Structure 1
Amino acid sequence: MRAGVGFNNSHYTNLASPTQSRADENSLYYVAADRQLWQSHVHDAASRGIYGGFSVMGAPPDLNKVSQYYEVRLYAKGLFDSRPSDQISLVATDTVWSRFAVDAAAAKGNLVHRDAKAISGTYTAHLGPGIYASLGLTYIDHPTSITYTPQIGHALNFSASTSIFF
């Protein structure tokens, strides 16, 4: 489990009163936890198994367009004996926009939504020392930030990547 708070004293536009002088401080907070739910090889490779976790993040809605973020995740390492270093993940998220930013965009006549939800699945293969390849599929409801057009509703994204660590 981990938690934290951040502060920033840069000048920020106050979304609740954008014509007023800028705010001089901003903050954020987060709480996250992960736990191994099941071990597949207790004695020789304790990290292999299934994990679950969550994250909750927040920031003042009068200073930040993203005011809340929620994530739930389920992931596994080494489920297959033939691939003991591979990982699989399933992650669901909800990004909540600032009510002040949403209301300001709606007042201008824009179509708005208050959040964006997503669910993704990823398989990461360990190809060699420091070399990984990932394939993922993500479905996003409301893939834009706050405003959208009637043609934009959902997105289905495929991703492929290679990472090399040295």
Structure 2
Amino acid sequence: PPSHYTEFTTGEKSDNNYGMYLAETVQVTKPYGDARGWYLDSKLDYSPDSVNAINKAFQVSAFNVGPFASRPADMAAVGLTKSYYSKDLRDVTRSYGLEAAPYTLAVTASYAARLIPGVYLISGLTYTKNPVFTPIHSDALLLQESLNFLF
């Protein structure tokens, strides 16, 4: 059976929802002849704005596996993501007297340091314009720290 989604502008149920994306990752340098080096990554997303709160997005990033010869298992990255909020949803939100952001934009820099095999400390700093849909909110600067165990 199909999944049913509520149309933002009419409130009616619809099973006409889909999504498309195009993605590519390419290694652009191989300083050691293996997987270490710089990569470029990009992605485009699209779905109908009648039933999806975020219906368009693009992302570009560059990351380096083994950024230092002495740290071959670490990874450094920088990226930009812009996600567009549905025009239909923003129109409905405006009808309630609320102003909604047209998009959210985030720029992130991060570093994953392998402490021991299977244990990584990941640090990230993200600047976000329009961090919430509504009400319009000032920009945000987030510092993230995580300790990951892989087994």
Q: How does the TM-score come out when normalised to structure 2?
A: 0.95
**What is the CA-CA distance between 1:9 and the residue it aligns to?**
2.3
The percentage of counterpart residues that share the same residue type is 28
**Counterpart position of 2:29:** 38
Given that 1:9 and 1:26 are in contact with CA atoms closer than 8 Å, whether structure 2 keeps it comes out as no
**Counterpart position of 1:105:** 93
Aligned counterpart in structure 2 of residue 10 of structure 1, from 3, 20, 28: 3
**What is the CA-CA distance between 1:92 and the residue it aligns to?**
0.2
Give the partner amino acid of 1:131. V
1:86-101 equivalences under 5 Å are 86-101=74-89
CA RMSD of aligned residues (A): 1.3
**Counterpart position of 1:4:** none
SS of the residue corresponding to residue 16 of structure 1 reads coil
Q: How does the TM-score come out when normalised to structure 1?
A: 0.87
**What is the CA-CA distance between 1:24 and the residue it aligns to?**
2.1
Deviations 1:15-58 (A, max 9, x none): 1322xx3002421111100101111111xxx1110000100111
**What is the CA-CA distance between 1:127 and the residue it aligns to?**
1.4
**Counterpart position of 1:127:** 115
SS of the residue corresponding to residue 70 of structure 1 reads strand
Distance 1:137 1:97 in 2: 23
Given that 1:137 and 1:157 are in contact with CA atoms closer than 8 Å, whether structure 2 keeps it comes out as yes
Deviations 1:49-80 (A, max 9, x none): 00001001111101111111110010001121
**Aligned pairs, how many?**
151
Distance 1:79 1:154 in 2: 30
Aligned counterpart in structure 1 of residue 15 of structure 2, from 4, 19, 24: 24
The structure 1 segments of at least 4 consecutive aligned residues displaced by more than 4 Å after TM superposition are none
Deviations 1:119-141 (A, max 9, x none): 00000001122111100000000
Distance 2:88 2:54 in 1: 10
* 1:54 pairs with 2:45: no
Given that 1:40 and 1:79 are in contact with CA atoms closer than 8 Å, whether structure 2 keeps it comes out as no
Distance 2:130 2:15 in 1: 32
* 1:156 pairs with 2:141: yes
Distance 2:72 2:29 in 1: 15
Distance 1:41 1:24 in 2: 50
Q: Unaligned regions of 5+ residues in structure 1, if any?
A: 1-7
Give the partner amino acid of 1:15. F
